[in-house]
Structures are given as C-alpha cells and as structure tokens.
C-alpha cells in the first residue's frame, strides 16, 4: 500500500490525538506498553504506526539495538584526569542521510572538517534543547552561555564531506 504524504500526516495527527487522549485518561502519563497494547487493535489510529510483520519488525529491532550499542559504548581515556567515561562513537548528520553509520570520536576530533561537522551538529542540538526548554526560566543562564559560542545564533547547515 502506497501512503501519500497527506495520508501520512493525517495518520500521524490521528495518532497524536489518540496518544493525548490516552495520557488524559491515565492522569497525564502514558507508558510505551500501554501505547503498544492500544496499537494492537486494528481499528486504532496507532495501529499503522507499527510494523506488525515480525520478520521485518525483528530485524528493525535488532538494528535499533545495534544503534543503542554504538551510542552507549564508552571507554576510560588515560588523558581524562577524572577518569570519566568517554563515548567511543559519534553519529554525524551527513552520515545519517546515507545508510547511517558511526565514526570513532577520536578520528572525528583529529580531522578539522569532521570536527566542524560535529560542532555544527552540537550547536543544532543545543538549539533544539533551548526550543524545548525555553519556558524554564531557571535555564536562562544556560541559554545565554550557549549563545556566546561563536556561530550559535543561527542554525548550522551540515553538508557532506
């Protein structure tokens, strides 16, 4: 079945409404397990948001697990005086537009071009963070500090290498 962009937007809007209704009925909070149970119903607006073919869903789940593994892999670098864990891999925006992929963080930091891409990604993420939490006046100082970073006043366009 080929879903048009309009049908997809309508489907997502219906799903959002269903999720909000579920949260309201449950005192303002809804769990992923409750969402999944509701989505199992074929007439639920959430049903089409899930892959029900287990052979396809299983493979997608294993890919999601692999992404998590890459994101959480850390090592303790001797140069770190506090011996805090450091991520080993990083995902750069241009790599995500291809078939995805994660780069070794040390390699990214040693390459000026890749480091610039990582900085642009970080500034874009900080912008998203500010948009999400700008209503919290307690974070005003954090946002002010972020804006002091050169180039942080506007979204960065991240291009391939």
What is the C-alpha to C-alpha distance for residues 94 and 102, in angstroms, rounded to an integer?
A: 11
Whether residue 122 lies inside any domain: the answer is yes
Which of 50, 67, 85 is the C-terminal boundary of a domain? 50
Inside any domain, residue 39: yes
CB 158: neighbour CB atoms within 10 A? 19
Question: How far is it, in rounded angstroms, from Cα 139 to Cα 132?
Answer: 11
Averaged pLDDT for residues 21-48:
94
Interatomic CA distance for residues 18 and 12, integer angstroms: 10
Q: Provide the domain limits for residue 145.
A: 104-161
Across the chain, what does the average pLDDT equal?
A: 86
Domain presence at residue 161: yes
- 84 occurs within a structural domain: no
Average pLDDT on 10-34 reads 92
Concatenating the DSSP letter of every residue in 44-84 gives: STTGGGS---HHHHHHHHHHHHHHHHHHH-EEE-TT-TT--
**What is the pTM (predicted TM-score) of this model?**
0.64
Interval 133-153 mean pLDDT: 89
**Total domains present in the chain:** 2
- Choice between 99 and 12, residue whose per-residue pLDDT is larger: 12
């Amino acid at each position: 079945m080929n879903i048009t962009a309009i049908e997809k937007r309508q489907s997502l809007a219906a799903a959002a409404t269903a999720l909000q209704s579920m949260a309201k009925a449950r005192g303002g909070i809804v769990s992923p397990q409750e969402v999944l149970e509701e989505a199992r119903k074929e007439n639920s607006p959430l049903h089409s948001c899930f892959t029900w073919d287990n052979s396809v869903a299983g493979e997608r789940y294993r890919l999601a697990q692999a992404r998590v593994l890459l994101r959480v892999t850390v090592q303790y670098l001797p140069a770190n005086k506090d011996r805090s864990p450091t991520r080993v891999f990083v995902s750069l925006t241009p790599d995500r537009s291809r078939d995805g992929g994660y780069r070794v963080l040390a390699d990214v930091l040693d390459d000026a071009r890749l480091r610039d891409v990582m900085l642009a990604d970080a500034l874009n993420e900080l912008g998203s963070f500010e948009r999400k939490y700008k209503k919290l006046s307690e974070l005003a100082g954090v946002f002010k500090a972020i804006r002091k970073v050169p180039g942080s006043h506007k979204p960065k366009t991240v291009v391939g290498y």
